[in-house]
Amino acid sequence: MHLRLVRFAFMAVALTAPAIAAEKVALSVDVSKAGAKIDRNIFGQFAEHLGQGIYEGIWVGPDSTIPNTRGIRNDVVAALKALKVPNVRWPGGCFADEYHWRKGIGAQRTVTLNSNWGGVTEPNSFGTHEFMDFLDQIGSEGYFSVNVGSGTPREAAEWLEYMTTDQPTALAKERAANGHTAPWKVAYLGIGNESWDCGGNMTADYYLSQLKIYSRFVRNFNPTQQDKEQMLKIAVGPGGPETEWTETIMKAWQHHHWSWDINGLSVHSYTVPRWPPSYKSVGFGEAEYGQILKTTLQMEDLVSKQSAVMDKYDPQKKVALVVDEWGAWYAPLPGTNPGFLVQQNSMRDAILAAMNLNIFARHADRVRMANIAQMINVLQAMILTDKEKMVLTPTYYVFKMYVPFQDATFIPVAFSAGTYTHGDISLPRVDAIAAKDTNGKLWLEVTNLDPNEPVEVEASLAGIAAKSAAGETLTAPGVDSVDTFEAPNTVVPKPVVAKVQGGKVALKLEPKSVTVVSVEQ
C-alpha cells in the first residue's frame, strides 16, 4: 500500500512538472496592421506644491550649495532630460485651486499657507518664471491648472495674458520687468482640478457653468503659437468609474457654442485598494504585490467606460481623455509628515507603471495625455532626493525604457496571457504591446507579472524582415526591492538576450520583469 502511494505521488509530480517549468507564451505581431499614434503626452509628469516635490526636489535656490542653474537642481534636470518629458502639470492638484499666480512673481514674494498639504508655509519662490525656466531646462511643455475653486475668470485671464501676449500691455511690461521680455508658449491649460472635491465640491452642472465662462475668457495671446498650434484646453472630468460627470460635460460639448470649447476631459484614478491608503510601499509580500496589481488593472475598465460615453457624443474622438493623475498611493513612510505623501518606489511599482502605460497605448485613439503622480519625492515618483543626494526609482527606469514609444504607431499584439495565481488573486501572467517608431523601427514591450517563474516568449513577426533584436530588462531580487541613496543600483535595467530566427523573436523573461526590445530589419 505504501509503495503504491509513493508511485502515485511520483506520477502526480511527473504529470504536473510541465506547469512548474518556464511558461511559454506565443505573441503574434503584424506590422502592417497599424493602429493609432501613441501620443508622447501620455508620458507626462505632475509637479505639485506638495511636500518636497517642488522645494528641494526641483528648487533649491541660486544660493544653494547643491549644484543648480538659477536655483533649479542640475542633477534633476539631467535625469528628466533623459526621459524626454513631454509635459509637466503644475501647480496642482488641490494646490492649484488655492494658488494665486501674482504671489509667485516679482522680487518680493508673498508667503502663504499650504492648507492642503501638511499645513506648512508656501514661500512662492517657485512661481511662473521659475516653472518656465525649469521647462526650458528639461525641454518640456507646460500644462497649467488655473484656479477655478477660489479664483476668478479675470485672474485666470490675466495670468494667460501675462504669459502669452507680445503686445505692449501693462501685464506684458510687468513680465518684462520681471525678467522675460518675449511671450511664453502655453501648450495645455487645465480649467480647474477635481472640482467635484478639493476644487470646490461642485456638481457637474455647476462646474459646467464655470467651464463655459473660463473657457470663453482664458485666451492664448501668443501669435507664433496661434499660427502653428492652438493651446489645448482640458476640462475637469470624473474622479473614478462613474460616468455622470462625463455625460454632463460631453453632452454640452456636443452642442457647444463657438465661444467656448475644450480639447480634453480629465480623469483621475489612483491605485488604492482601500481608503485611506494603508498598503505599505516597503517591506510587503507577495499577497500585497498581487492585490495592488489587481487593483491597478481597474484602469482598463475605467478608460473603457469613460471612452464609451465620450464616443456617444464625440464619435470622431476630437476630445482627448486625459488621465492626468494616476499611480500608486500607499501609506506615508513612518516618521514623515503624513501631508507630504512620502513613499518608496519598488519593483512592484515598475510593473504597475508598465501595465498602465500599456493600457493607455491600447486606447491611444482616445487617451492622448496622462500625468503620473508625481514627478519627485511625492507618491509614485521618478526621483527621490535628500538634500544633495538623488536616486532614480524603478518607475523612472520604466519611463526611460518606454521613450521609443513616444509618438510611435501602435501595433496590435495577439497573445494568450496565461494566469498567475497567488491565494485568491489571479492575474494575467504577461502583458505586451508593440509599436513602430517614427524611423520605422519595431519596438516590443513584454511584462512578466509572475514574481516567481520566468517566461519564454516567442514573437512571430509579419510585415517585417527581422534580422536582429536587442533590448533591456528591468527586474530585481524581490517584488519589494527598491533603489536607495546607499544602494542606488538594486533595480536598474540590464541588457537582455533576444534571438531572431525564421521571422520570430525569442527571449526569456525573468520573474517580475519589464522588458523592451527593438527589432532591426
Give pLDDT tens digits for 35-91.
999 999 999 999 999 999 999 999 999 999 999 999 999 999 999 999 999 999 999
Q: What is the pLDDT of residue 15?
A: 39
Interval 219-248: pLDDT, tens = 999 877 765 568 999 999 999 899 999 999
**Residues 415, 387: one domain?**
no
Number of domains in the chain: 2
Helices (H), 263-365: 286-296, 298-313, 347-362
pLDDT one-digit tens code per residue, 271-290: 999 999 999 999 999 999 99
User: In whole angstroms, what is the distance from residue 67 CA to residue 272 CA?
Assistant: 37
* Mean predicted confidence (pLDDT) in 113-123: 96
Give tens-digit pLDDT for 348-396. 999 999 999 999 999 999 999 999 999 999 999 999 999 999 999 999 9
pLDDT of residue 21: 63
Residues taking part in catalysis: 194, 325
Averaged pLDDT of the chain:
94
Q: Is 349 in the same domain as 306?
A: yes
| CA gap 193, 89 in Å, rounded | 11
Q: Do the domain assignments include residue 12? A: no
Q: Please tell me the distance from the alpha carbon of residue 101 to that of residue 41, in angstroms, as a whole number.
A: 25
Query: Domain for residue 11, yes or no?
Result: no
Looking at residue 521, what is its pLDDT? 86
Q: Which of 146, 232, 147 is nearest to 185 (CA)?
A: 232
pLDDT for 228: 58
In the predicted model, is pLDDT for residue 12 greater than 60?
A: no
* Spatial distance between the Cα atoms of 82 and 85, rounded to a whole number of angstroms: 8
Structural domain boundaries, residue 505 = 22-35+411-520
Q: What is the pLDDT of residue 23?
A: 81
pLDDT digits (tens, 9 = 90+) for 452-498: 999 999 999 999 999 999 999 999 999 999 999 999 999 999 999 89
Same domain, 139 and 83: yes
pLDDT at 230: 85
Assess whether 467 and 321 both reside in one domain: no
pLDDT of residue 176: 98
Do 263 and 291 belong together in one domain? yes
Res 517 pLDDT > 90:
yes
Question: Distance (Å, rounded) from C-alpha 440 to C-alpha 10?
Answer: 52
The b/e string for 460-491 (b: 16+ C-beta within 10 A; e otherwise) is: ebeebebeebebbbbbbebbbbbbeeeebebb
Judge if 381 and 447 occupy the same domain: no
Is the model's pLDDT at 1 over the cut of 90?
A: no
- Which residues lie closer than 8 Å to 105 by C-beta, 6 or more apart? 127, 128, 129, 162, 174, 178
Regarding whether 300 and 267 lie in a shared domain, the answer is: yes
Domain end position, chosen among 406, 430, 451: 406
- Domain boundary (343, 374, 406) is at 406
**In CATH, what number is assigned to the domain containing residue 435?**
2.60.40.1180
What's the CATH number where 104 sits? 3.20.20.80
Cβ distance 226 to 220 under 8 Å? yes
Percent above pLDDT 70 for the chain: 95
The residue type found at 125 is S
Same domain, 27 and 98: no
pLDDT at 14 over 70: no
pLDDT per position as a tens digit, 286-337: 999 999 999 999 999 999 999 999 999 999 999 999 999 999 999 999 999 9
Residues 508 and 437 in one domain: yes
- Which of 342, 376, 406 represents a domain boundary (last residue)? 406
DSSP of 389-443: EEEE-HHHHHHHHTGGGTTPEEE-EEE---EEEETTEEEESEEEEEEE-TTS-EE
Mean pLDDT of 408-416: 96
